[in-house]
Amino acid sequence: MKIFLDTANIAQIKEANDMGLLDGVTTNPTLVSQEKEDPEILYSTICKMVKGSVSVETTSNNTEEIIRQGHEIRKYGRNATVKVACTREGLKAVKMLEDSGIPCNVTLVFSPTQAFLAAKAGATIISPFIGRLDDISYNGMDLIRTIVSMLKPYDYLKKTQVLVASIRHPVHVVEAAQAGAQISTMPPKVFDMLFKHPLTDIGLERFLKDWESVKARMAQKVISP
Ligand code: E4P
C-alpha cells in the first residue's frame, strides 16, 4: 500500500520525502489555508519535490470551470493529479479530463455508489473519507471494504486506486491495507505514530546501555591485559 501525506506543509513533506518513504501527497483548500505561502508556490514546490502523485483540488462545482482548472493544475507538473469533488458536475468533468489523459482524484466520497460512479467515470484515484464517517457514528472502514469488494470483480481496480482519506490514527492505516486499498493518505502526526512503539524505545535504551558496558570491559582489558 502506498503512503501519501495529507498536508500542504513543505517542511513536513520534505522530511518524509527525504526518508524515501513517501509515495505522494494530497492537499485540499483547508490544508492550503493553514499555510502562509501562495497556493501556486506551494503546489509547484510540492510537485517538484515529490516524485509521486500530488493531488491539487479544483475549487468549483461547474463542469467547464473544473476542466479549465484541471488543465491549469497540470502545469504544476506531470505528477499533478486533479482533485474533483464527487458531484454530478464533478464526475462529468472527471470523465472528460481522464479521456484527455489528465489523471483525477475524486474526493469527498462517502458512499459505495459514489465510488462506483467515480470508477465508471475513469478516475485514477477515488478518495473515501473514513474519519468524517466515524465522526458521525458510521464505520468508515466498512465503506472501504465495500468499495474494494464492489470494484474488484469488474477489474475497475486495475485503472482506479482506492485512496483511504481522512485517516485519524494508525489502526486506520493497518485496516486500510487489510481491506486492500492501494493508498492511505494521512496527516504527518499519524505518519509519525507509525514508527513508534514504547517497547522499541525501552529495548534500544537497554541495548545501548549494555553495549557501553561491553566497551568499558574491552577498554579495561587493553589497559590491564
Ligand atoms: C484527502 O485527500 C483529504 O485531504 C483529507 O484526508 C481530509 O481529511 P480530514 O477529514 O481530516 O479533513
Q: How far is CA 104 from CA 95, 176, 213, in A?
A: 9, 21, 57
Q: Is 152 designated active site?
A: no
Task: Evaluate if residue 223 carries a pLDDT over 90.
Answer: no
CATH topology of domain 2-194: TIM Barrel (3.20.20)
CA of 27, closest atom in ligand 1: 4
* Confidence (pTM): 0.94
Q: Give pLDDT tens digits for 104-130.
A: 999 999 999 999 999 999 999 999 999
Pocket test for ligand 1, best of 2, 5, 6, 124 (most atoms within 8 A of CB): 6
What is the tens place of the pLDDT at every residue in 127-173? 999 999 999 999 999 999 999 999 999 999 999 999 999 999 999 99
pLDDT for the residue 110: 98
Q: What is the pLDDT of residues 169-195, one digit of tens each?
A: 999 999 999 999 999 999 999 999 999
Chain segment 65-96, per-residue pLDDT in tens: 999 999 999 999 999 999 999 999 999 999 99
CA of 151 to the centre of ligand 1 (A): 22
pLDDT digits 0-9 by tens, 205-217: 999 999 999 999 9
Give residue-wise pLDDT tens across range 24-74: 999 999 999 999 999 999 999 999 999 999 999 999 999 999 999 999 999
Q: Ligand 1: which residue has its CA nearest to atom 8? A: 166
- Ligand 1 first shell, C-beta below 6 A: 6, 26, 28, 107, 127, 129, 131-132, 165-166, 185
Nearest-5° Cα angle at 157, 101 to 67: 30
Domain ranges of the chain: 2-194, 199-225
Q: Is the pLDDT of residue 225 over 80?
A: no
Q: Which one of 36, 83, 92, 196 is the catalytic residue? A: 83
β-strands 80-85, 54-57: how paired? parallel
SS3 content of the chain, % helix, strand, coil (to 5): 55, 15, 30
Note the pLDDT of residue 202: 98
